[in-house]
Amino acid sequence: MLDIQLLRTDLDYIAARLTSRGHTFPIAQFNALEAQRKSIQTHTQALQAKRNATSKQIGIAKQKGEDVSAIMAEVAQLGDELKQAENQLESIQAELQQILLVTPNLAHDSVPEGKSDADNREIRRWGTPRTFDFTIQDHVSIGESLGLLDFASAAKLSGARFNVMKGGIARLHRALAQFMLDTHVQEHGYTEVYVPYLVNAECLRGTGQLPKFDEDLFAVHAGSSSLSDSTVPTEQHPFKLHLIPTAEVPLTNIVREEIVPLEQLPLKLVAHTPCFRSEAGSYGKDTRGLIRQHQFDKVELVHIVHPQKSYEALEQLVSHAENILQKLALPYRVMTLCTGDMGFSAAKTYDIEVWLPAQNTYREISSCSNCEAFQARRMQARFRNEKGKPELLHTLNGSGLAVGRTLVAILENYQNADGSVTIPSALQSYMGGLDQLAIESGQ
């Protein structure tokens, strides 16, 4: 979340910057709550001072042998007033907190202003899209023709936007995840982490999915119909957990409420997990095939770094994701997202878009973001700086890569006229030496 002191010192400026992100900050409500907070804090301090002074009178009166019942009654009344004022202050602080929890991050100065993906800026391209001398098929037609993608069975099992992969395509999907993990660990210096696929609400608040994007999440209600959002389970109030929308959530929350020693920075973590998203509000978009699914796999990269190093880390993070596409010889471009197209927690985001021949366009396959201290402030994730004082960390995350979309790109870019698909050389050792998916081989 944003530092509330920024809002207190220059509210109009911050509100104007948030407008470029499509967010209207409630200035009047914030000012009213701040006025109440200041008034009650002043009143609370006055009550505390008066109670302390009155309490001292009790001892003095007792030493003189005087009746202290009236003074004690006054102290008790002051205590009741103080408790009431503290409750009011707590309520106001909670309202201010709710405003902050749904306020997006400020965009970095280098981010271009804009309202939609039409205003994003291309940074660079790599690779040349292949020229085909036959009619191009999309990944769905390719997979179904091979008998290795079965969307009908998936719909029978779970409904729309799920998939069943078989044989060679299932193996290729697994090979991609292993190839990505090996590359990031062995060449890029990440630590592989296995994380839970179910997390509590505090984790999702920490990385910014809650409360704003509750409808995009899948909740799992365990143990009883009597539910609570509490992260402390009891017999009457069991856990309410959520399926992770991305491994960013558990990976980043590893440092929640921690103070990381300076010498341990940077932390570079990678995890392969399924991801679960309801895709609320995206009805009708990419409903055919593997592009937009309720369940999909992703290899996620997370950096937890010193604030002075975070933009250097962002460039490094993007290069690591690019390296996977280069090894697979898949053409792509890198885009800087504009203010109106960035994710809620991001201060700056690069999207990597892979070339999909059947769509004759580039499509997002990785999104790499620097969240600066936005998530760390929500999580109270800190490190001890050079002076030994606690300071908020900077957090970054990116896909390295989305496994299903990489599979789509391979099926379409490596398709052949006879309906077969050539396996990229970088993956053949993960496929037991298999160099092609073909109908006649049954692979």
Active-site annotation, residues: 277, 292, 364, 367, 405
Q: Rg of the chain's alpha carbons, rounded to an integer? A: 27
If DSSP states are collapsed to H, E and C, what string results for the chain? CCCHHHHHHCHHHHHHHHHCCCCCCCHHHHHHHHHHHHHHHHHHHHHHHHHHHHHHHHHHHHHCCCCCHHHHHHHHHHHHHHHHHHHHHHHHHHHHHHHHHCCCCCCCCCCCCCCCHHHCEEEEEECCCCCCCCCCCCHHHHHHHCCCECHHHHHHHCCCCCCCECHHHHHHHHHHHHHHHHHHHHCCCCEECCCCCEECHHHHHHHCCCCCCHHHCCEEECCCCCCCCCCCCCCCCCCEEEECCCCHHHHHHCCCCCEECHHHCCEEEEEEEEEECCCCCCCCCCCCCCCCCCEEEEEEEEEEECHHHHHHHHHHHHHHHHHHHHHCCCCEEEEECCCCCCCCCCCEEEEEEEEECCCCEEEEEEEEEECCCHHHHHHCCEEECCCCCEEECEEEEEEEEEHHHHHHHHHHHCECCCCCEECCHHHHHHHCCCCEECCCCCC
**How many Cβ atoms are within 10 Å of 133's Cβ, its own excluded?**
5
Does the annotation place 32 within a ligand binding site?
A: no
Tokens of 194: 């296995």
Does the annotation place 42 within a ligand binding site?
A: no
Does the annotation place 399 within a ligand binding site?
A: yes
| Contact status, residue 427 vs residue 328, Cβ threshold 8 Å | yes
Does the annotation place 70 within a ligand binding site?
A: no
Does the annotation place 322 within a ligand binding site?
A: no
Does the annotation place 145 within a ligand binding site?
A: no
Does the annotation place 187 within a ligand binding site?
A: no
Residues 6+ apart with CB under 8 A from 191: 185, 267, 268, 269, 270
Does the annotation place 169 within a ligand binding site?
A: no
The single residue listed with the structure tokens 């001292």 is 56
Residue among 15, 26, 201 nearest 96 (CA): 26
Does the annotation place 363 within a ligand binding site?
A: no
Does the annotation place 247 within a ligand binding site?
A: yes
Residue among 340, 416, 380 nearest 146 (CA): 416
| Contact status, residue 350 vs residue 123, Cβ threshold 8 Å | yes
Does the annotation place 364 within a ligand binding site?
A: yes
Residue among 40, 41, 10 nearest 25 (CA): 10
Residues forming the annotated binding site for L-serine? 246-248, 277, 300, 397, 399
Residues forming the annotated binding site? 246-248, 277-279, 300, 364-367, 397, 399
Residues forming the annotated binding site for ATP? 277-279, 364-367
